[in-house]
Amino acid sequence: MKNFKTPLNDLRFIHYEVLDSLSEYRKNPAYDEVNKELIDAIASECAKYAENVIFPLNQSGDEQGCSYNDGKVTTPDGYKAAYQQWLQGGWQGLSHPEEFGGQGLPPSLGIMKAEIVGTANWAFGMYPGLSLGAMNTLMLHADKAQKALYLAKLTSGEWMGTMCLTEAQCGSDLGQIKTKAEKNDDGSYTVTGTKIFISSGDHDLTDNIVHIVLARIPGSPEGTKGISLFIVPKYLPDENGAVGEFNQVNTGSIEKKMGIHASSTCVLNFDGAKGFLLGEVNKGVAAMFTFMNTARIGTAIQGIGSAELSFQNSLAYAKERRSMRPLSGAKEPEKVADTLIKHPDVRRMLLKQKAIAEGGRAMLYDTALLADKLSEAKDEAEFKAIDDKLGFLTPILKGFFTELGIEAANEGMQVFGGHGYIKEWGMEQIARDVRISSLYEGTTGIQGLDLLGRKVIQDKFKQYFAFNKRILALYKEILQSPYKVQMLRFIAPLMCYQLRWQKVLLVILFKARKNRDAVGASTHDFLMFSGYLATAFYFTKMALASFKALDQGGELSPDFYQAKLQTADFYFQRLLPRAKGHAAIISGKTASLMDMPEDNFQLE
């Protein structure tokens, strides 16, 4: 893997010309000092760190991996030094409150930082990334004493955090959790059990790790209604808040994984460790979703970042490698063959990767700006209203863009041909690393069930209708603009697919009246249709901004805006039509899935 440059121009375009982030920041008095100069400085400095410090460790870290000896985990060469530079730069606390040592900047700028770092080296970015989820959970659910004890160390990055959900017998079905927490006389709890697949569960980057653990208090109700959340540090803080005695959180092993070898994924044994209740008894799952939603947005970044990294390396290779001639004739007859980028099918793969990265980035930052508003909420009702909007977009963002990120990485390997399968070039690493993204924090099927079952049907269609209204508002804006004629090629198909989106939902509801399995049989396709439609919405917004910039003068070059319009054309003509296939599947008979007897699945 040879190439990575932060797409700073695209970041500026999305922030300033598409989403108008500055206007959003001005609505919050806490962000009144946020301006272009500050955003540009954060992006450029983070880009320097990502490009010069951690990207060079991406391939070497994958080859070396983490090691496990005598219960301790060691990260690859260079990681500790890179993490020290992370601390010195103050990157961990960028978007956290000043009272705990943070810089108090909008969470959306933290998302920008996470995208830059995650694209350069996903395995490295996972370590501080998991800690951010722990910090957000503590911010919302910890008491004052717990915040005082843990948040300053986590904000500085001196300590890290994790989330511990999964057990051998259960992943997404948290109701099966067996880890128990028995109350002690001093109000603490003794936590006993084993958690698996714990990202950043142990490492040598920090002196302490604060685990956020789901466990069941004996006598609690069965299922998810009887699960509580606990703070279980690897080392108990002493009376001064410094690292104290070992807390019997033992690392049993590290997982041997397909990818992200430089990220430690651990089996953790809580052998009578001391834990402290976080939030209310038996309300652990609801509290943990603070962490989960943070992680799901983070996971979407992996899909988007993988598409970007794959595109950059594919593009460089396609401009250099020579092979055959296009059917239309030689483009460089004086050379032995034409470069790959002259071939239509190679351009198809390059544009697909580019469209996935850019469409995902627009949706990512729109979602991030929505998350910023959570801190502005005046009361619980307003907080819930904002959180519901965020909750609708999150499964689409996570489920759709991890699936497309995997596809983009596979196309990157395809551009390289046989060289894509060889470790030297690094393309197979991108494909291996991103493959986990559609699995953790809930598989694509879980995201689809969450979207259709909880965020659409159980929500009584409130957020579904709200997103439809956003599309209608965009139609109105375009029709009142001087660019309505040029924009017709985008808004006409967008309107058709929006109407089809409404139709497929009605089909699902009608079929579900007779057969409840019709919902489960449609979740994946409804999610993917929603993803294609939502991305079309964001490309329409980007196209409108590009026409404005070309007409009125934008901050970037005319070639940038032309390329954006051409990428939007590609998306609408080559990717959006896939949604029709998902609609056709939804309209098909549920019986094709459910009528085959289990015995008929066998080969004998």
**3-state SS record for 495-544:** HHHHHHHHHHHHHHHHHHCCCCHHHHCCHHHHHHHHHHHHHHHHHHHHHH
With b for 16 or more beta-carbon neighbours within 10 A and e for fewer, the 87-121 pattern comes to beeebbbbbbbeebbbbbbbbbbbbbbbbbbbbbb
Written as six digits, the tokens of 236 are: 């108990």
- Per-residue pLDDT tens digits for 502-549: 999 999 999 999 999 999 999 999 999 999 999 999 999 999 999 999
Closest by CA to 397, choosing from 426, 423, 367, 429, is: 367
Residue type, 114: A
> What's CA 581's distance to the chain center, in Å?
26
Q: Tell me the C-alpha distance between 451 and 488, whole Å.
A: 30
Neighbouring C-beta atoms of residue 169, cutoff 10 Å: 10
Measured CA to CA, the distance from residue 131 to residue 125 in angstroms comes to 10
Angle, vertex CA 477, rays to CA 476 and CA 482, nearest 5 = 115
395 touches 455 (CB < 8 A):
yes
The domain ranges of the chain are 287-447, 459-591
Q: So what's the pLDDT on residue 2?
A: 86
Crossing angle between the packed helical segments 284-320 and 122-141, to the nearest 10 degrees: 160
Which residues lie closer than 8 Å to 378 by C-beta, 6 or more apart? none
Beta bridge partners of 162: 211
For residue 263, CA distances in Å to 1, 308, 438 come to: 18, 20, 17
Closest by CA to 385, choosing from 441, 330, 327, 466, is: 466
Q: What mean pLDDT do residues 412-425 have?
A: 97
The whole-number pLDDT of residue 1 equals 65
Distant-in-sequence, close-in-space partners of 195: CB < 8 Å, separation ≥ 6: 164, 165, 166, 167, 179, 201, 213, 267, 268, 270
Q: Looking up tokens 């059990």, which residue turns up?
A: 193
The pLDDT of residue 287 is 83
- pLDDT exceeds cutoff 80 at 451: yes
Average pLDDT, the chain: 95
Tell me: pLDDT of 290 over 70.
Answer: no
Q: What are the φ/ψ torsions at residue 503 (nearest 5 degrees)?
A: -65, -45
CB of 204 within 8 A of CB of 80?
yes
Tokens of 538: 């964001």
What does the alpha-carbon distance between residue 522 and residue 511 come to, in Å, rounded to a whole number?
A: 10
Q: What are phi and psi of 523, to 5 degrees?
A: -60, -45
Give the integer Cα–Cα distance in Å for 160 and 242. Answer: 14
Give the residue from 298, 303, 346, 302 showing the smallest Cα distance to 322.
346
d(CA 146, CA 533): 43
State the pLDDT at residue 380: 85
Amino acid at 136: N
**What value does the mean pLDDT take over residues 562-569?**
98
Predicted pLDDT at 603: 75
Q: Where are the beta strands (DSSP E) in 334-452?
A: none
Please write the tens of the pLDDT for every residue from 59-110: 999 999 999 999 999 999 999 999 999 999 999 999 999 999 999 999 999 9
The H or E element containing residue 196 is strand 189-199
pLDDT at 292: 65
Radius of gyration of the chain from Cα atoms?
24
Q: Where are the beta strands (DSSP E) in 5-94?
A: 67-69, 72-74
CA–CA gap between residue 106 and residue 251 (Å, rounded): 35
pLDDT band for position 383 (50/70/90)? Answer: confident
- Strands of 16-155, DSSP E: 67-69, 72-74
CA–CA separation, 125 vs 85, rounded Å?
Answer: 13
Residue 215 region by backbone torsions, left for phi larger than 0, else alpha for psi between -120 and 50, else beta:
beta
- Residue that the structure tokens 């998350």 belong to: 371
**Contact between residue 538 and residue 362 where contact means Cβ atoms under 8 Å apart:** yes
Q: How far is Cα of residue 603 from the mean position of the Cα atoms in its chain?
A: 38
26-40, 376-390, 537-551: range with highest mean pLDDT: 537-551
Looking at the chain, the whole-number percentage of residues with pLDDT higher than 70 is: 99
| C-beta atoms surrounding 232 within 10 Å | 27
Q: How far apart are CA 8 and CA 43, in angstroms?
A: 7
Phi and psi angles of residue 23, each rounded to the nearest 5 degrees, phi first? -65, -35
pLDDT tens digits for range 163-173: 999 999 998 88
Catalytic residues: 441
Quickly name the fold that domain 287-447 has.
Answer: Butyryl-CoA Dehydrogenase, subunit A; domain 3 (1.20.140)
Q: How far is CA 592 from the centre of its chain?
A: 33
Type of residue numbered 333: P
Angle subtended by helix axes 107-120 and 344-372, to nearest 10 = 150
The whole-number average pLDDT for the span 389-415 is: 96
Considering Cα of 48, then 51, then 52, then 57, what sign does the dihedral take?
positive
C-alpha 580/C-alpha 196 separation (Å) is 39
| 492: amino acid identity, one letter | A
